[in-house]
Structure 1
Amino acid sequence: MNYQIITQLKDLEQVCLQAREADVVMLDTEFVRTRTYYPQLGLIQLFDGETLSLIDPVALDEMTPFVDLLKDTSVLKVLHACGEDLEVFQNAFGCTPTPMVDTQIMAAFLGHGLSTGFAALVSEFVGVDLDKSESRTDWLARPLSQKQLDYAAADVHYLLPMYNKLLDKVTESGWWDAAKQESALQVAKRIRPSEPEKAYLDIKGAWQLKPNQLAILKPLATWRLKEAIKRDLALNFVFKEQDLWAVARFALKSPKDMEKEGFDIRSVRRHGAKLSSIVKLAEHTPKEEYPAVVERLMDFPGYKQIFKVLKDEVKLASEKSGLATEFLASKKQLNQILSWVWKHKRNPEKLPDVMQGWRLELLGVHLDKKIK
């Protein structure tokens, strides 16, 4: 397995121009995400079938040739389980690989579970057992060890023969267009812009709060998300979710009250005054501007019964198609269609996953008929 390490702009230009001559390239990234809001890019692996390059974004100040490759619509980019890779590309370069297909999704169209790992598929389709021990090492440290470099190179080296095998089988089974559709759906989901004004809806336990308490939680959650983005810090490292909820629940108006509740002292000292001012201001919110109570689907009449009916429909579609039930429609996706019907009155602008693309005819129309 031969590879080159790219740390100079002229070399980056050369390998990216060469890659743009190919119809298909293999891509992967190594990143670190521990305390940060955004994943921190440590390494990019690129294989065009002839040249395998490990691109060092830590050493390179200029990445335009690579961005041009990402945007080149004449080159299909192949990745595996690329959800976080998409976030990495979007954050680092303001774009995602276009067009793109995910081999984990391709495997799912052959009956594999959606969470099937790279090593398992390489073992099955290529007959090679990979060492995955370096997956959680520090990819921002320099120099990278030989073991890290070999590990990173293997991820795209074996991705190519695995992709070729999957492509033959997926094409033969008639799912190739669907695999591209599903990959595009993953891109759309991963690069949705953050909505600070709706951040309170993601706070665990928001449904337990009354409208006047939600009027406090809403600006608190908005502040926390904006602070996390500004400082590139994971949300709970700004202020813990459960503590933020408690501030809203009990309308805590002083750092002293927060300390009495057992909140992290450092967080209170850093943000207590700001949170107190937000609470005091929010308490003057007019009643007509209170957020609506957060409705849980499970509290809707007949939720358990209809959910079971939908699960049975998914099982039937699974038996008919050979696709895994969790890939056809996860619990989240079933709740999505219920929300679409019950909360959004089948708004065509808010279509759930099962009511579009390849899922619509196979499953969506059947599920829709079951919901009143």
Structure 2
Amino acid sequence: MNFEIVTELSHLERVCEQARKVPAVMLDTEFVRTRTLYPRLGLIQLYDGETLSLIDPIKLDDMSPLWALLTDESVIKVLHACSEDLEVFHHYSGVMPTPMVDTQIMAAFLGHGLSTGFAALVDEYLQVSLDKGEARTDWCARPLSDKQLEYAAADVFYLWPLYHLLAERVADAGWNEAVNQECNLLVSKRGKTPDPEKAYLDIKNAWQLRPQQLAVLKKLASWRLREARRRDLALNFVVKELHLWKMARFDIRSLDKMVDEGFDRFEVERHGSRLLRMVSELDTLPEEHYPEAIVRLVDMPGYKQMVKEIKDQTNAVAEQLGVVPEFVGSKKQIHQVLKWAWVNGRNPEKMPDLLSGWRKAYVEDRVLPLLK
């Protein structure tokens, strides 16, 4: 493998200008994520079939040529298992690769498991064994070793032939449009910015709280997410999730009580007074402004039977199509259908995955009668 290390804007401009002349480019990112809310970008790999570039975002102050390439609709951006890569691009550039194809999704349409790794596919389709020993390295350290650089380069070098092999088989199987739809669905989901006012809904066991307690949890969870964004700190390194829940559940009103409930000394010293003040501010909140009690799907009548019946149908479709059952209808997607039907009044503007896109033709006639 021959590769270029890109550390200057003029070099990046040349590389991206060349890449915009080909039908598809291979992309990957290397990043570090330990205590931070956002991933720390360490390297971007770009391969246009001729030039393999290792782009150094730590040395480059201006990445605009690459961001322009990401949004050039004449060039397909090919990645593998790209959920976190999409998050990286969205955070650093505010844009998403468009159009984008994920080879893990392509492989799923060919019968592979949903989380089939890049190395496994390269081994199966190209008969090449990749060394994954550098997967957990510190990509933000400098200088990067030759072994690190070669590892990073391999991820896009072998993505090129893998993509073209999979593309041929996907086309032969008639799945081109479905692959595009599934990749677009992934991009749309990963491009959404979480709403701080809904952060409390992601707190474990929030459903156990009464509306008044939920008002406390909502305020604290919203503050924590904003604080995490401001400081680029992982949520639980601001205040642990469990401790927010305890503030609401046990009506904690003193620093001593926080210590008794197992709060970290750092949490108490840095945020204790602020948390208590926020709780006190809600004492005058009118009841009509409390959040609604959280009703879980699992507590609704007929939940278990309905999940089983829908799963039976999606499993039958998966067998018919030769794909793994979770690809047609995961547990999360089945819950999405039930929430749409039982909670959201079957809003036609918020159709669930199972009843839209490529799945609709195979699943709608099987599942809608069950919901009725």
Distance across 2 between alignment mates of 1:364 and 1:214: 36
By how many angstroms is 1:148 displaced? 0.6
Deviations 1:191-219 (A, max 9, x none): 10220001111100000001111111110
> Which aligned segments of 4 or more residues in structure 1 are displaced greater than 4 angstroms?
none
What whole-Å deviation, never above 9, does each CA across 1:276-320 have from its counterpart, x for those lacking one? 011111232211111111111000001001110011001110111
Q: Post-superposition shift, 1:76? A: 0.4
1:88 Cα deviation from its structure 2 partner: 0.1
- Could you tell me whether the CA contact under 8 Å between 1:340 and 1:346 is conserved in 2? yes
The residue aligned with 1:277 is 277
User: Which residue number corresponds to residue 216 of structure 1?
Assistant: 216
- Partner of 2:166 in structure 1? 166
Q: Give the C-alpha shift of residue 354 in structure 1.
A: 1.0
Q: How does 1:19-98 map to 2 (within 5 A)?
A: 19-98=19-98
Please say if 1:354 is aligned against 2:354.
yes
TM-score normalised according to structure 2 size: 0.99
Give the conservation status (yes or no) of the 8 Å contact 1:333–1:354: yes
Equivalent position of 1:207 in the other structure: 207
What displacement does 1:365 show?
A: 3.5
C-alpha displacement of 1:348: 1.1
Letter in 2 for 1:102: D
Equivalents in 1 of 2:353, 2:274: separation in Å?
40
1:314 is matched with which residue?
314
Identify unmatched segments of 5+ residues in structure 1. Answer: none
Structure 1 position 156, deviation (Å)? 0.1
- Code of the residue aligned with 1:123 in structure 2: it is D
1:183 aligns to 2:168 (yes or no): no
Q: CA RMSD in A?
A: 0.8
TM-superposed CA distance for 1:368, in Å, is 2.0
Classify the secondary structure of the residue corresponding to 2:284: coil
Q: CA deviation at 1:267?
A: 1.0
The aligned runs of 1:260-271 (5 Å cut-off) are 260-271=260-271
Amino acid at match of 1:49: G
In the alignment, which residue of structure 1 is the partner of 2:329? 329
Equivalent-residue separation in structure 1 for 2:216 and 2:13 (angstroms): 52
Residue identity matched to 2:232? D
The residue that corresponds to 1:16 in the other structure is 16
Paired residues of 1:30 and 1:44 also in contact (CA < 8 A): yes
Aligned 8 A contact 1:46 1:156 in 2: yes
* CA–CA distance in structure 2, aligned partners of residues 350 and 233 of structure 1: 32
Could you tell me how far 1:355 is from its partner in structure 2?
1.4
Shift of 1:251: 1.4
Q: Any stretches of 5+ residues in structure 2 without a counterpart?
A: none
Which residue of 1 is the match for residue 370 of structure 2? 370
Matches within 5 A, 1:124-143: 124-143=124-143
Distance 1:231 1:255 in 2: 24
Establish whether residue 290 from structure 1 lines up as the match of residue 285 from structure 2.
no
Partner of 1:258: 258
Q: Is the 8 A contact 1:355 1:365 kept in 2?
A: no
Q: Secondary structure at the match of 1:77?
A: strand
User: Equivalent residue for 1:238?
Assistant: 238
Amino acid at match of 1:117: G
The alignment partner of 2:266 has SS state of helix
Q: Give the SS at the match of 1:18.
A: helix
Task: Indicate the SS of the match to 1:283.
Answer: helix
Q: What's 1:193 paired with?
A: 193
Task: Give distance in 2, aligned partners of 1:121 and 1:72.
Answer: 28
Distance 1:319 1:69 in 2: 39
C-alpha separation between the residues in 2 aligned to 1:235 and 1:159? 34
Deviations 1:70-101 (A, max 9, x none): 11110000000000000000001110111000
Could you tell me which amino acid in structure 2 is paired with residue 191 of structure 1? G
Alpha-carbon distance in structure 2 between the residues aligned to 1:126 and 1:362: 32
d(CA) in 2 for partners of 1:282, 1:370: 43
Shift of 1:134: 0.7
- CA offset at residue 165 of structure 1? 0.5
Please give the alpha-carbon distance, in whole angstroms, between the structure 2 residues aligned to 1:114 and 1:132: 20
* Aligned residue pair count: 372
Alignment partners' CA distance in 2, 1:99 and 1:255: 52
Kindly provide the amino acid, as one letter, of the partner of residue 281 in structure 2.
Answer: L
